[in-house]
Structure 1
Amino acid sequence: MSLKRVFKQSALRVAMIGVISGAALGAAGLAEAGSVSILETGSSLLYPLFNLWQPVYTKENPGVQLTTASTGSGTGQAQSMQGLAQIGASDAYLSGAQMKQHPSMLNIPMAISSQMVNYNVPGLNGDHLKLSGPVLADIYAGKVTMWNDPAIAKMNPGVKLPAHKIVAIHRTDGSGDTFIFTQYLSDSTPWWSDKYSYGTSVSWAPVQGNIGAVGNPGMVDALKNNPYSVAYIGVSFKKQIMDDHLGEARIENKAGHFVLPEIRNVKAAAAAMVPKTPADQRISLIFAPGAESYPIINYEYALVDSHQPSAEMSAALKKLLSWAISSNGGNAEHFMKSVNFVALPPSVVKQSTAQIDKIHA
């Protein structure tokens, strides 16, 4: 399916979905529901978007108290499954084992994001160094330890790389960013898949000098404060990376091209993968085919229990989530641009709407 077909379908189709959902929610008498408190917690990559949504949505819906918290995708997953939070924000969908234990959980895409690979190499932060999955795997496994290693030099001809040790920074909390980064390493590097695999937490190689950090803010701080370091960071923190004058790498995609996480490259990858999205929307968008495809993109998920304790909570969640995925609401261009996300294409809006409709008391 072409990029144009996936992302530029009629605005009328999206509008009709919004009208249908709005009518259904109106029929539920949500306006009369009274005050409802909703807790969203989890992904530090998705948090900036929820944080932008919160004041806008609560102003329009004064009967809803929406609290947002950046705790990491692992916590978002756990607290939503345990019923401690109404919405678990996660860059990672729930695993088959988790769904078997909690079959009433829904994995609902809110937007499409990407992940940067950033570095702090004095004198080279403006050059967009090229890095590949196999080289990043070697760096995080302690096999490539110097910036002027022949494997890095080969990808960056003409660049004077420093003879300095690489400081690899990883997340220590349960993280969807770790999930998608290690998924890219697994998909591009077979030995990594065999030895480390992927997940919200992995057993990192014990490499002397490497650093652990909590959340995307912690990753940015660690990168800024440690020259010659490298880190994987969610694209919603791109402004901080730019403000701190840190480097952003071109990453090798499945076609062997080195690309940046620019919107057109994220859309190219999404166009290749979105048509494969199943009804339950649990899918990896990593390492998409295509010459322009950026290799580390993903759905940002709201994890919600389909069975809610009251009709009021059920109706409030359905209204909030329907607003969040609407092009006239949370998926509006100004929200997406603020966090460098891509809005859901109409086909995914339709699937997410079908999932939201499953929420009940």
Structure 2
Amino acid sequence: MRLRSLSIIWISLVLLACPAAYAADLTGAGASFPYPIYAKWAAQYHKETGHRVNYQSIGSGGGQQQIIAGTVDFGASDDPMPLDQLQRYDLLQFPAIIGAIVPIVNLPGVAAGELRLTGPVLADIFLGRITRWDDPAIAALNPGLKLPAHGIVVVHRADGSGTTFVWTHYLSQVSARWAAEVGQGKAIKWPTGHGGKGNEGVAAYVRQIRNAIGYVEFAYAHQNDLSWAQLENRAGRFVQPTQDTFVAAALAASDDDDPSMGLMLDNQAGPDAWPITAASFILVRKRPIRPERNQQVYAFFDWAFSQGAALARTLDYVPLPDPLVQRIRALWSAP
């Protein structure tokens, strides 16, 4: 009888343990740039596998800090960490998705894609040197477009942000004044404007404030019915933010086998390239306390690479090209 009771207890413990072993609950945090697609992937992954992925949109700086502290299974950042930092904190980094950052505006009577801007003009707006929408520099780019005779309300990120890193990296390339006076980084001293938290916060502010301009990942502009500006690219052509122009930027980028895998895609030379295209990156600890967690993270992104491309396109992201995916899979299996 005692043996039978012990057997029942053992079987009960096994049955209780099985769901926990089978259903992985992963936690990730970081960049708001890829949040829409990570949330979509996580929902579909749970539906197909039973595994949950909880991703918090807290900004790239927060994602880097949390994976360094070991409080999440993976961090996410649009600002790729350099090799020396990866080695210092014993981290592995790989890109997960390609998207694009767009200037968004709230100008009554101006539809999405109608307004034209160049990199130098955009920099002067965010420097506070161009302060009105009817400024001659903007008017010259937009003959025939009725521009409001009102002041420009600049909206930027208030948190440490990979989106800001890419935005300021681009402005530093196209404006010597911006490079000298402000520079690039996840968090900078803004010359002018109001801060919003996350891509969500910037999108909400621009949507609410007339005559505002900000910058967000394209999915946020599209989903919130916000107007965006077309931009002059490095080839001197005005282009719209589309899947084709994002892919053109990715294809124009050189693949130099950087061991950090931190490829920058902005200001590429392709004639059709969107000038503020960017990859978003995942960070994991090479030697976590629970090594099986990394395998579960890899399983999620392996599923995303093989099954999630169509979902990515519906949200205006660009899936990684197959050769890059193969490099990432090789990285996962490296000692």
The alignment's TM-score, normalised by the length of structure 1, stands at 0.83
Aligned length: 318
Q: Which amino acid aligns with 1:314?
A: N
In the alignment, which residue of structure 2 is the partner of 1:45? 33
Of 181, 191, 196, the residue aligned with 2:177 is 191
Rounded Cα–Cα distance in structure 1 between residues aligned with 2:206 and 2:24: 40
- The 3-state SS of whatever aligns with 1:275 is coil
- Greater shift, 177-186 or 313-322, is seen at 313-322
Asked if 1:259 corresponds to 2:259, the answer is: no
Change (3 A) 1:76 1:32: closer
Aligned with residue 268 of structure 2, among 288, 298, 301: 288
Please state if 1:340 is matched with 2:316: yes
CA contact (8 A) 1:119 1:125 kept: no
User: Which residue of structure 2 lines up, in the alignment, with residue 304 of structure 1?
Assistant: 284
How much does 1:127 deviate? 5.3
Q: 1:314 to 1:290 in 2, by over 3 A?
A: closer
Deviations 1:267-325 (A, max 9, x none): 11111105345243112111000211110111111111122222422322222222222
Q: Which has more radius of gyration?
A: 2
Q: Deviations over 1:73-110 (max 9, x none)?
A: 111111112111111122221145633531x2122111
Contact kept in structure 1, 2:73 and 2:294, CA below 8 Å: no
2 CA distance for matches of 1:132 and 1:305?
A: 40
Q: Does 129-138 or 31-40 show the bigger shift?
A: 31-40
1:155-214 Cα deviation digits (max 9, x unpaired): 112222221100010000111110111111011112211221111111111x3xx21100
Once the two structures are superposed, the pairs formed by residues 174-323 of structure 1 within 5 Å of their partners are: 174-205=160-191, 207=192, 210-242=193-225, 246-276=226-256, 278-323=258-303
AA partner of residue 219 (structure 1): V
Q: C-alpha distance in 1, partners of 2:141/2:257?
A: 34
Is contact 2:82–2:260 with CA below 8 Å preserved after alignment?
no
Preserved contact between residue 112 and residue 343 of structure 1 (Cα < 8 Å)? yes
Quote the sequence identity (%).
33
Cα offset for 1:32?
10
Residue type of the alignment partner of 2:27: L
Following superposition, the deviation at residue 126 of structure 1 comes to 4.1
The 10-residue stretch of structure 1 (181-190 or 92-101) with the greater mean CA deviation from structure 2: 92-101
Q: Determine if contact 2:98/2:318 at 8 Å carries over to the other structure.
A: yes
* Residues 78-93 of structure 1 mapped to structure 2, 5 A cutoff: 78-93=65-80
Q: Secondary structure at the match of 1:78?
A: helix
State the one-letter code of the partner of 1:228. Answer: N
Contact 1:281 1:351 (8 Å CA) reproduced: no
User: For residue 26 of structure 1, what is the aligned residue in structure 2?
Assistant: none
For 2:110, which of 124, 128, 133 is the aligned residue?
124
What residue in structure 1 maps to residue 8 of structure 2?
A: none
Q: CA deviation at 1:71?
A: 0.9
Q: Secondary structure at the match of 1:265?
A: helix
Give the CA deviation at 1:44. Answer: 1.2
What is aligned with 2:60? Answer: 73
- What are the superposed Cα offsets for residues 135-161 of structure 1, whole Å, 9 maximum, x if unpaired? 111111110001011111111122222
Structure 1: how far apart are the matches of 2:305 and 2:92? 15
Spell out structure 1 runs of 4+ moving beyond 6 A: none
What runs of 5+ residues in structure 2 fail to find an aligned partner? 1-18
Shift in Å, 1:59 = 3.2
Distance between the aligned counterparts of 2:48 and 2:145, measured in 1?
53
Displacement of 1:56 in angstroms is 2.0
- The CA distance in 1 between the partners of 2:75 and 2:254, in whole Å, is 22
Alpha-carbon distance in structure 1 between the residues aligned to 2:56 and 2:29:
5
Counterpart code for 1:75? G
Deviation at 1:353, TM superposition (A): 1.2
**1:145 aligned to which of 121, 125, 131:** 131
**Contact 1:148/1:162 (<8 A) preserved:** yes
- What is aligned with 2:98? 112
TM-score (norm 2): 0.89
Cα RMSD of the aligned pairs, angstroms, is 2.0
Q: Which runs of 5+ in 1 are unaligned?
A: 1-30
- AA aligned to 2:156 is H
Q: Distance in 1 between matches of 2:267 and 2:76?
A: 22
Contact 2:154 2:194 in 1 (8 A): yes
